[in-house]
Amino acid sequence: MLLLHLTDVDESRWGNAYAEALGTYPVVRRGDDFNPADIEYIFVWKPKADAFDGLTGLKAVLSLGAGVDALLKHPNLPDVPIVRFVDDQLSQQMTDYVVAHVTMHHRRFTRFAADQKARAWRQFYPPISSETSVGIMGLGVLGQDAARRLRALDFTVRGWSRSPKSIEGVECFAGPGQFEAFLAETDILVDLLPLTPDTTGILNMETFRKLRRGRLEDGPVIITAARGGHQREADIVAALQDGTLGAASLDVFEVEPLPQDSPLWSLENCFVTPHIAAISNPRTGVRYFSKIISDHRSGKPLVNVVDRDRGY
């Protein structure tokens, strides 16, 4: 039996789609009449404190989110495998967001938008894409997809991960020891890391000061679309004001929704979007998790299982 436990999401839409996809395999929601001991799989997003109570027959937790940082902090998380969401459409959406913001910043849209508002005719020419380097923090499912598409647009692409990688056309760096070298020739920094103790607060003034200066007029750029816990927003504001950063695009924030009094809302060189870079799609999501359930029930191993020690 599959139990759905989704907060802030249209649970009935997912429930109906699961019922259709899983056929005779029962799907239940909170409030339905069922025996908790019969639940084999639970599909969650922002589970409440009692979400796992009585689930003595549980075989796996299925996470609607690709990021599992909040789930891993659940005080009653059972000791069963956690499967996270991995989906081509999710990757495509994220890459669409990254490409849109990289190309905007490369062509200095924040500067031209400000000039237009001021009716100022100020010509300047950005470097060509091949002379502009995009550094991607996180070379996992999302980071590698973004890297591929940025390469196709002729940007110089660099990437940083925990373990060493070899990706065609991408200069790869790994671990804390190579972080400075990775930053040193990066003009546009894209954050696609998971939130773990090691990555918390990594987007801070010290990091920004290590980015390459002189290639992009006005200074280097950051694009964050992973987790707000990575960023020190007071440092981002200061860096955008003192020129350490030329511009930023932020999709995630330390506190969401972004508080009304945040200075980020009104900085001319900052794009703010409300955590919309990529959203899990019920159609492809149900197809993905239904296959995982069916395969697992027929004896195949689970895929995309979270490593709890690594934290992602």
Report the catalytic residues. 227, 275
Query: How many residues line the site for ligand OXD (CB under 6 A)?
Result: 5
List 66, 82, 188, 189, residue binding ligand NDP (CB under 6 A) = 66
Side by side, the strands of the sheet bearing 188-191 are 170-174, 156-161, 133-137, 188-191, 221-224, 247-250, 270-272
For the bound state, the minimum distance from the C-beta of residue 67 to ligand OXD, rounded and expressed in Å, comes to: 3
Query: What residues between 265 and 304 interact with ligand NDP by CB under 6 A?
Result: 275, 277-278
Query: What residues between 19 and 48 interact with ligand OXD by CB under 6 A?
Result: none
Complex with ligand NDP: residue 219 or 228, whichever CB lies closer = 228
Query: Coil, strand, or helix at residue 44?
Result: strand
For residue 96 the two structure tokens come to: 């669409």
Complex with ligand NDP: residue 59 or 275, whichever CB lies closer = 275
| Under 8 Å between Cβ of 219 and 253 | no
Give the DSSP H/E element, type plus range, for residue 92: helix 88-106
Q: Is the dihedral of CA 211, 125, 93, 279 positive or negative?
A: positive
Complex with ligand OXD: residue 22 or 142, whichever CB lies closer = 142
Query: Does residue number 192 form part of the binding site for ligand OXD (CB under 6 A)?
Result: no
Query: Does residue number 89 form part of the binding site for ligand NDP (CB under 6 A)?
Result: no
For the bound state, the minimum distance from the C-beta of residue 139 to ligand NDP, rounded and expressed in Å, comes to: 4
Residue 193 interacting entry, from ligand OXD, ligand NDP, none, C-beta within 5 to 8 Å by type? ligand NDP
Residue 312 interacting entry, from ligand OXD, ligand NDP, none, C-beta within 5 to 8 Å by type? ligand NDP
| Under 8 Å between Cβ of 246 and 269 | yes
Give whole-number Cα distances, 109 to 101, 112, 217, in Å. Answer: 10, 5, 12
Query: What residues between 110 and 139 interact with ligand NDP by CB under 6 A?
Result: 138-139
Look at the block and give the residue holding tokens 């009104």: 266
For residue 301 the two structure tokens come to: 């191993």
Look at the block and give the residue holding tokens 């330390």: 254
CB atoms within 10 A of CB 286: 21
Query: Does residue number 245 form part of the binding site for ligand NDP (CB under 6 A)?
Result: no
For residue 29 the two structure tokens come to: 């929601």
For the bound state, the minimum distance from the C-beta of residue 74 to ligand OXD, rounded and expressed in Å, comes to: 15
The answer, yes or no, to whether the previous bond of 194 is cis (omega within 30 of 0) is no
- Contact residues toward ligand OXD (CB under 6 A) are 65-67, 85, 280
- Contact residues toward ligand NDP (CB under 6 A) are 66-67, 94, 138-143, 160-163, 192-196, 198-199, 225-227, 251-252, 275, 277-278, 312
